[in-house]
Structure 1
């Protein structure tokens, strides 16, 4: 069996068809059940957030492998854009990494080097991978298939990053720019002002740069503003990060408690 027959990335497939990717973030749940639940709910992608959680690498790998089996793409946001983190989460089962706080082409190139096998990068060989069901496949074939399926998503969280959108989007091996609106606004001194004109300007500039270089844009941090997120999708963004497992659980809990408290007592 060929490596390319085993390894597929539903996110890359949907982007190739110009479809919108639905993503959710995992910060709380440690169990593998969350991957199957995300698939059942209709998500195309999960991303495990190691930057803002206490999730372990072991739990991350287990969830990633469950997602691979369920047919949903597992990504991981690393806590630091270093080979030590990037390679380990990829070897554990992630189909891509989200690199926070990228501000320059040099930083983007360093992420690509850590995430891709030669000749695209410098990722070291670690033997059989869960992505290929631990099958014995020639190194050349396996590396090519994994390189093709593995996504590099860089995150814009500062005005500097937006100003350098053109050079970052031009980096070979970068697949997508995910805009983190909350950190971007904080950097601009506009914390919490999600509908500020500078947010629309940031998206317009980033989408234009990515379109020029054949890359994609993702929307993050707008789970409370679905109409605004839809506006950016209409502009050309093709991935929407809808919120975290914490948000989803709490919203359901609040609604159930509210229903009980609103029952009339006679």
Structure 2
């Protein structure tokens, strides 16, 4: 499907969340391009109560230590949702070394534009679309100047829209969102990737890998499951290398193969209770 499938996996932007400088350096050596912290707190515990989702205790000091430890990877931070202190958070993030800033759980293009105005082009500006209202307004959001990338956050969307599994990923809605984002010159990314052969996950992760080239996505989180119960003698470098190879494998498959993988994901999601 791609003229150079190998480059798809090699160029794919991975994001690792960690407060541990040792892990951060290991991630950089493994070729992870974005490494940093998550300070999102506002409303998150209530939104995701009772679900096995990511709630971090990362601090500004953690961000400074990560920034000091890394040499080539981008320094990432997920901020809080829009609030009265967003401008101050943006300034603090840049002062502590962040080069990639993400705004989560916003609702409108007005909030997106305000965030971009706060960043002022001093860092790479990402939006995490994870509310139904932001989905409805995706055209206007994608047109917002000063935004470099739009990522679709699957956990909050699944909860707020009462979806099963990853059914949004295989839906026509997701294809339309991806097209709108790309057509407006923004990078498109979504979700998180575990190990492609992890049989303990509720859905087959390998067919999720196939959705990234199908949708023209250029990035994803490294999920917590990527590091959970690894095989013997596993290293992060080996894991990342295999992940990229598998993405390239799917990028080299036919459109028919990718559609088959989409349909398989849809069927698994319908049957899933996660």
Whether 1:95 aligns to 2:110 is no
State the shift of 1:243 in Å: 1.2
Query: CA separation in 2, counterparts of 1:198 and 1:59?
Result: 33
TM-score with structure 1 setting the length: 0.68
The question of whether the paired residues in 1 share the 8 Å contact of 2:81 and 2:105 is answered with no
The question of whether the paired residues in 1 share the 8 Å contact of 2:189 and 2:218 is answered with yes
Whether 1:234 aligns to 2:234 is no
Query: CA separation in 2, counterparts of 1:234 and 1:89?
Result: 34
Q: 1:230 to 1:64 in 2, by over 3 A?
A: farther
Whether 1:204 aligns to 2:204 is no
The question of whether the paired residues in 2 share the 8 Å contact of 1:162 and 1:205 is answered with no
Alignment match, 2:57: 54
SS in structure 2 at match of 1:166: helix
The CA RMSD over aligned residues, in Å, is 2.4
Q: 1:197 to 1:99 in 2, by over 3 A?
A: closer
State the shift of 1:102 in Å: 2.0
Q: Which structure 2 residue ranges, 5 or more long, are not aligned?
A: 1-6, 41-54, 195-200, 233-274
SS in structure 2 at match of 1:155: strand
Question: Would you identify which runs of 4 or more consecutive aligned residues in structure 1 move more than 4 Å?
Answer: none
Provide, for residues 143-178 of structure 1, a one-character-per-residue CA deviation record: whole Å limited to 9, x for no partner. Answer: xxxx3xx21110111222111111001001111111
TM-score with structure 2 setting the length: 0.66
State the shift of 1:115 in Å: 1.3
Bigger relative CO (Cα 8 Å, ≥ 6 apart): 2
SS in structure 1 at match of 2:229: helix
Q: 1:65 to 1:205 in 2, by over 3 A?
A: farther
- Work out which of the residue numbers 96, 108, 112 in structure 2 matches 1:108: 112
Alignment match, 2:143: 170
SS in structure 1 at match of 2:15: strand
Query: CA separation in 2, counterparts of 1:38 and 1:222?
Result: 15
* Number of residue-to-residue matches in the alignment: 199
Alignment match, 2:12: 20
Larger Rg: 1
Query: CA separation in 1, counterparts of 2:180 and 2:125?
Result: 17
Q: 1:20 to 1:83 in 2, by over 3 A?
A: same
Q: 1:222 to 1:34 in 2, by over 3 A?
A: closer
Whether 1:86 aligns to 2:125 is no
Query: CA separation in 1, counterparts of 2:87 and 2:145?
Result: 18
Query: CA separation in 2, counterparts of 1:222 and 1:158?
Result: 21
